[in-house]
């Protein structure tokens, strides 16, 4: 598809609605205007219109050639914190792991996971949560059916308004659809047709369709969709598609990782061959796709600050250093920002605390996204078992999110990566020696909404707007005691 002359992109976040006008005249894309306004939760269209008006005015002022009628409009939304998904699988390391992968790659937020057969307590928990989607998986094609049938029966009797997406054993599909006839149920291909094989695309597409129905309903977006003739994308899906475009369209960005550090979650995206196939290394568990996303609900700078303090305690204490009062001051600061998410650091010490939190978010999210290599001593010598995805070959890491756009220290990503000390018998397969880039203009989600339609233009525009940041991971690692 030929590139449009102008693209107006808007991202409706939970706090702010942000927008940009991108110009594509003369080949390379550029940022022609920026604007933002508070999100209007009751009627999302009002905030959207305010941003669009401002964008048009600024684009006209900056660019003599700008004409609103030549511009396409695309938008994404993460309002309400995204689509809430409960994932059900049989074995935690197999179908449940794949179900979580599918939900995350579709831009969903996993509110709860259930393995094996749902109990009465599980059903009660589901009823309390009433998620947007229940992703029901289990069994290889031709494999186990009894867990799926039991879980379908439990869901049929549950008081939930969720859409149920069945992506389990194909053989049980008709029976499951029959049991769930009284619910909204979509059946798609199995996420794990064979043991270890991952096929998340059909489930991802089904989740995207549910997102459109759910998000557009009753929040003032329906009229907007009608007048614009396009539907919004879940923001994480827009970013997911942008990482794919970047990896496929720009050879120097082929093996790439993107960290989105937010107030509530840290999202990690990667595009890289998951398994190198070196001699003496065997891959166990599921074989992840080249492109994946994971979401860490306990890694955030504001809403999830307290959870971060708990999960990242060891890393945080090491960063804070020895003064015992420092940890108390840090704890106080955590309490403050968790209660007042809009708070911005006011003095040097608070800025340092924010930096430590951001580094901890990045380090934890990367470590969990990455696989592990465990040394095994065999009769024939040393061998290695790999679980999860090998990110060592990732050449470039991109950092994005409001924090990075606003303040972050120049060497923050280098320090975050260096904080991950490899353990002797177990190695985290994190990027080995990446070059680090920051999205200082905070355009990743905005360009993302163009990525599926105009992959080449979107990828090039992003590559041009990213800044390499100072700091060398290897050097930083050596500097540590």
Partner 1 sequence: MTAGPPYTIVLGVIGADCHSVGNKILDAFFTDAGFRVVNLGVMVSRDEFIDAAIESDARAILVSSLYGHGEIDCAGLRERCIERGLDSVLLYAGGNLVVGKRPFAEIEAKFKAMGFDRVFPPSVDLHAAAALLRADIEEAVHART
Give the sheet arrangement for strand 256-261, strand by strand.
Answer: 291-296, 266-271, 256-261, 396-400, 435-438, 467-468
Output the smallest distance, CB 466 to partner 1, in A.
Answer: 40
Closer to partner 1 by CB, 91 or 250: give it.
91
Among 90, 366, 394, 419, binds partner 1 (CB under 8 A): 90
d(CA 296, CA 171): 34
Closer to partner 1 by CB, 116 or 343: give it.
116
Binding to partner 1, residues 122-161 (CB under 8 A): 138-140, 142-145
Output the smallest distance, CB 280 to partner 1, in A.
Answer: 8
Output the smallest distance, CB 380 to partner 1, in A.
Answer: 6
Sign of CA dihedral 216, 220, 225, 231: negative
Closer to partner 1 by CB, 276 or 406: give it.
276
Binding residues for partner 1, rule CB under 8 A, total: 26
Q: Could you give the string, one character per residue 358-397, with x where binding to partner 1 holds by CB under 8 A and - elsewhere?
A: ------------------xxxxx--x-x------------
Stretch that binds partner 1, among 89-97, 174-182, 423-431, 457-465 (CB under 8 A): 89-97
- The answer to whether 9 touches 74, Cβ cutoff 8 Å, is yes
Output the smallest distance, CB 281 to partner 1, in A.
Answer: 10
Closer to partner 1 by CB, 97 or 416: give it.
97
Output the smallest distance, CB 195 to partner 1, in A.
Answer: 5
The CA distances from residue 481 to 359, 421, 471, 476, 477, in Å, are 18, 11, 18, 10, 9
Binding to partner 1, residues 317-346 (CB under 8 A): none
Output the smallest distance, CB 383 to partner 1, in A.
Answer: 5
Angle among Cα 383, 386, 388 to the nearest 5 degrees reads: 180
Closer to partner 1 by CB, 15 or 171: give it.
171
Sign of CA dihedral 424, 428, 431, 437: negative
Binding to partner 1, residues 178-207 (CB under 8 A): 192, 194-195
Output the smallest distance, CB 92 to partner 1, in A.
Answer: 9
Output the smallest distance, CB 125 to partner 1, in A.
Answer: 22
Closer to partner 1 by CB, 90 or 111: give it.
90
Contact status: 470 vs partner 1 (CB under 8 A) = no
Interface with partner 1 by CB under 8 A: which residues?
Answer: 90-91, 93-95, 138-140, 142-145, 192, 194-195, 280, 282, 284-285, 376-380, 383, 385
């Amino acid at each position: 598809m030929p590139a449009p002359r102008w693209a107006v992109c808007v991202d409706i976040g939970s706090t702010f609605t942000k927008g940009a006008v991108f110009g594509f005249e003369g080949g390379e894309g550029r940022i022609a205007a920026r604007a933002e306004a508070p999100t209007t939760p009751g009627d999302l269209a009002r905030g959207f219109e305010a941003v669009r008006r401002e964008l048009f005015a600024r684009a006209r002022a900056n660019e003599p050639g700008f004409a609103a009628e030549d511009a396409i409009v695309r938008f994404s939304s993460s309002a309400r914190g995204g689509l809430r998904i409960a994932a059900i699988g049989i074995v935690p390391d197999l179908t449940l792991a794949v179900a979580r992968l599918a939900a995350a790659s579709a831009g969903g937020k996993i509110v709860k996971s259930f393995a094996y057969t749902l109990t009465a307590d599980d059903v009660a928990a589901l009823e309390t949560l009433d998620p947007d989607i229940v992703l029901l998986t289990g069994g290889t094609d031709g494999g186990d059916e009894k867990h799926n049938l039991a879980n379908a029966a439990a869901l049929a009797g549950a008081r939930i308004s969720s859409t149920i997406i069945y992506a389990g054993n194909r053989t049980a599909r008709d029976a499951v659809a029959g049991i769930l006839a009284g619910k909204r149920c979509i059946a798609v291909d199995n996420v794990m047709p064979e043991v270890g094989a991952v096929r998340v695309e059909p489930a991802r597409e089904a989740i995207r369709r549910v997102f459109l129905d759910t998000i557009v309903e009753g929040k003032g977006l329906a009229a907007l969709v009608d007048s614009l003739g396009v539907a919004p994308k879940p923001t994480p899906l827009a970013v997911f598609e942008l990482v794919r475009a970047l990896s496929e369209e720009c050879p120097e960005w082929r093996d790439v990782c993107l960290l989105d550090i937010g107030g509530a979650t840290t999202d990690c995206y990667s595009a890289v061959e998951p398994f190198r196939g070196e001699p003496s290394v065997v891959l166990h568990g599921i074989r992840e796709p080249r492109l994946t996303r994971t979401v860490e609900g306990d890694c955030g700078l504001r809403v999830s600050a307290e959870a971060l303090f708990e999960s990242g305690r060891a890393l945080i204490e090491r960063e804070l250093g020895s003064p015992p009062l420092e940890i108390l001051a840090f704890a106080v600061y955590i309490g403050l920002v968790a209660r007042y998410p809009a708070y911005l650091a006011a003095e040097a010490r608070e800025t340092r605390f924010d930096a430590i939190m951001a580094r901890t978010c990045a380090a934890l999210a990367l470590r969990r996204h990455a696989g592990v290599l465990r040394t095994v001593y065999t009769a024939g010598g040393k061998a290695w078992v790999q679980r999860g995805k090998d990110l060592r070959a990732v050449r470039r890491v991109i950092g994005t999110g409001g924090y990075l756009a606003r303040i972050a220290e120049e060497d923050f990503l280098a320090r975050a990566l260096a904080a991950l000390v490899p353990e002797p018998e177990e190695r985290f397969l994190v990027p080995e020696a990446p070059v680090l880039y920051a999205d200082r203009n905070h355009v990743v989600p905005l360009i993302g909404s163009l990525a599926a339609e105009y992959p080449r233009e979107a990828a090039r525009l992003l590559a041009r707007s990213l800044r390499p940041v100072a700091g060398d991971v290897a050097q930083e690692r050596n500097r540590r005691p």
